[in-house]
Each structure stands twice: as structure tokens, then as C-alpha cells.
Amino acid sequence: MVTTTRIRLDRIASSTRNAALTEEVILGDEIIAAEGYVLAVRILEDKANYNTLEDLSGRMVTLRAGDVLAGTLGTRRALRGYAGDIPSRISVGDTLDVLNLGGILGRCTSVNPDIGPPFKAEVLGAVLAFPELGDRVGRPAHIRDRAIAPAEALIGTVPVVYVAGTCMNAGKTVAATELVRGMSRAGLRVAALKLTGVSLMRDALSMRDAGAVAALTFNDAGAASTHAGMTVPVARGLINTLLAPLGAGPEVIVAELGDGILGEYGVQDILRARDLTDLGAAWVMAAPDPVGCWGARELMTHEFGLPITVLTGPATDNAVGRDYITATLGLPAHNARRDAAGLLARVMEGLADWHAARGTAA
């Protein structure tokens, strides 16, 4: 028999947003240990760093010992963050870890020393959903509720500016945001996507603030994090959602590929999906150093058969990296922070070429 308890939440993580939680929820003691299910946990300690959480509004709020948090079961494989998995069984009273700022819950398997250990949290129960008015028996809430459905085919075409990188924190979001801002100011209707990574609204909100008419992430498709085998249908579903409104769809999409082109978040699947890559009007690559730039060119050329339109990121912070990229690799190099205009110009050239190849108006 399922035992239920009513509880008031102090914090609701952004990763749970599809579940549409309120501050008061009902918990069940039978927990499904699988990605996407929503749990309530109690934070067990205070921390001095990496101690914030993104809430449903996108604000970063501090977590304190004793806070009751609604988070989402998921995995993480971050080179410069935490790695963690979902235990095979989870019971009330067990201890889990908060694996990212979006409130992903799991068991940490590896820690980056720069950020210290994650928050420990006691499991209080599974948050229950009551989807039908008047339901008296709840079911475990999942972020697939109200989610955008994956798709097996695209319903139309639109030029996409893909922003990829060699690893996390390589400058992808800065570049994507500057491109959204620049194209919006040029009069284009720009939409934004975050297609891979671990659930967090911050990057999509940054692009909305820069002028995107819409911004969606894989979390809107019911995924806590992305993995090989699922990113392509999710990407199609998100693009189809942007294209669905008649007469008001975007003229261009800026799509950020979270993590790196080598990694465990399913970026490679998107780079091999020809219907998705055929939409690519420009391929912006962010890299931290010259070796990363060289490796990105090798992988994009020989592994994926795709061009690099322009390189950006910390490798372009000063003339040393830019000179290597232009002289040795033969590729344009423009820093998104210091030369956003140059970056935009290269991408706009790609956009014009994409339309010219299809005989469509830019």
C-alpha cells in the first residue's frame, strides 16, 4: 500500500518545470528509480561554493541545510563538473546528491576539485501528479508531462546556425547569445535551441534576453539530460514546434550543442543526422586552445564531413590563437566578446549562401 504525505516545498528546481508543481505537493513512498521522475529531498548541509539552484523563474537561489527541494532524477557526465548516475533502487531516507544547478538528482561518482563535493540530500518521497481533475490517486510525476513530443521527420526547413564546442565552458553560449542579438538587430526573427547537455534554463534565457522570439531546450521535450540515441528525434521535435505556427515561424534558428563534439551527451548523433545537418547554414566552433581548434577541424572534416564556418572561444582571446587559426588552419577566427561584429558577419555570409543554394530569399 502506498503511503502519502503532504509537504511544502522551499525550492522547486527548474528541471521539474514540465511537471508544473506548486509549493504544496503530495509525496508517495514508492519511488521509480529512473530518469525524469520528480522527487522531494531535504538538503543536509550548508556549502560555501556551488551552493545555488536555478528555480522555475530562472533565478539562482541559495540552498541551505533543511531546505525541502523538488528535483529531477538524472545523470551527469561533466568534465568540469560532477559525474553521477541514478541508483538502481531508491527508498525514502536514502541519500542522493544534487548534480547540477538545475536540480538534477543522482548519486555522484566523480567530483571536480575546483567546485568541491555536491550537496547531499535525504529522499523524502516521490512527488505525485494528479493529471485529471478530481483524481484521488496520484502517480509519480515525470518531466515528460506536458512535454514536446520527439519526431521522426522534420515538417519543414529553416536555416540553422549550429554552435558547438570542444568541451564545456568553451564559449558556446556567449557566441550563441551574441549571434542571436546581432541577427535580431539586423531585423531577422531568430529562435534559439539548446539541443544537448544537462537541464538548465540559463542558456535559453540568455538567448531570449538577447532577442530570440522563442527559446526551447531538450528539457521542454521531457529530458533531464541528453544521451546517445535520443537527441535526434528530440531535436526534430523541437524544430517542428518552432516551425508549427503559420506565418510567424523563425527566419533562422541558433542551436547550441551543449558539452563537446566528443562526449556522452549525444552531440555526435546530431552531427551525423543528415536531415539536421542539411539545415546548417553555419557551423560555429568554440575551443579553449589551439590544440582544441586543430582537433575540432580534424573531427568535423574526417569524422562528420562538416565544415567549420568560424572558430571562437578562449582560443581567439588574443592574436596568438587567432594567428594560428587563420595562418595554420586556414579558418576565420573571431572572438564573441571582443569581435561580435566579425563573428556575425561570417555567419551572415553562411546564411546568404544557404539561401542562394536553395533559391530562397534571405
Contact between residue 221 and residue 142 where contact means Cβ atoms under 8 Å apart: no
Contact between residue 219 and residue 15 where contact means Cβ atoms under 8 Å apart: yes
Q: CA quadruple 194, 71, 20, 230: dihedral positive or negative?
A: positive
In angstroms, the Cα distances linking 29 to 5, 37, 40 are: 9, 13, 11
Contact between residue 261 and residue 165 where contact means Cβ atoms under 8 Å apart: yes
| Residue 1: pLDDT over 70 | no
Measured distance CA(29)–CA(26) in Å, rounded: 10
Measured distance CA(39)–CA(243) in Å, rounded: 34
Question: Which candidate, 32, 43, 107, 108, places its Cα nearest to that of 70?
Answer: 43
Q: Which pLDDT does position 166 carry in this prediction?
A: 94
Confidence of residue 360 (pLDDT cuts 50, 70, 90): confident
Contact between residue 237 and residue 197 where contact means Cβ atoms under 8 Å apart: no
**Where are the domain boundaries for CATH 3.40.50.300 in the chain?**
160-358
Q: What is the mean pLDDT of the chain?
A: 94
Reported as a single tens digit per residue, the pLDDT across 189-204 is: 999 999 999 999 999 9
Q: Which pLDDT does position 286 carry in this prediction?
A: 97
Mean pLDDT to the nearest integer, 283-302: 97
| Residue 30: pLDDT over 80 | yes
Contact between residue 340 and residue 284 where contact means Cβ atoms under 8 Å apart: no
| Residue 181: pLDDT over 60 | yes
Q: Which pLDDT does position 178 carry in this prediction?
A: 98
Mean pLDDT to the nearest integer, 273-301: 97
Q: Which pLDDT does position 249 carry in this prediction?
A: 85
Confidence of residue 245 (pLDDT cuts 50, 70, 90): confident
Measured distance CA(122)–CA(31) in Å, rounded: 13
Measured distance CA(282)–CA(307) in Å, rounded: 8
Contact between residue 324 and residue 290 where contact means Cβ atoms under 8 Å apart: yes
Phi-psi region of 252 (alpha: psi -120 to 50; beta: other; left: phi over 0): beta
Measured distance CA(302)–CA(306) in Å, rounded: 8
The CATH architecture annotation of domain 160-358 reads 3-Layer(aba) Sandwich (3.40)
Contact between residue 71 and residue 16 where contact means Cβ atoms under 8 Å apart: yes
Reported as a single tens digit per residue, the pLDDT across 112-152 is: 888 889 999 999 999 999 876 556 678 999 999 999 999 99
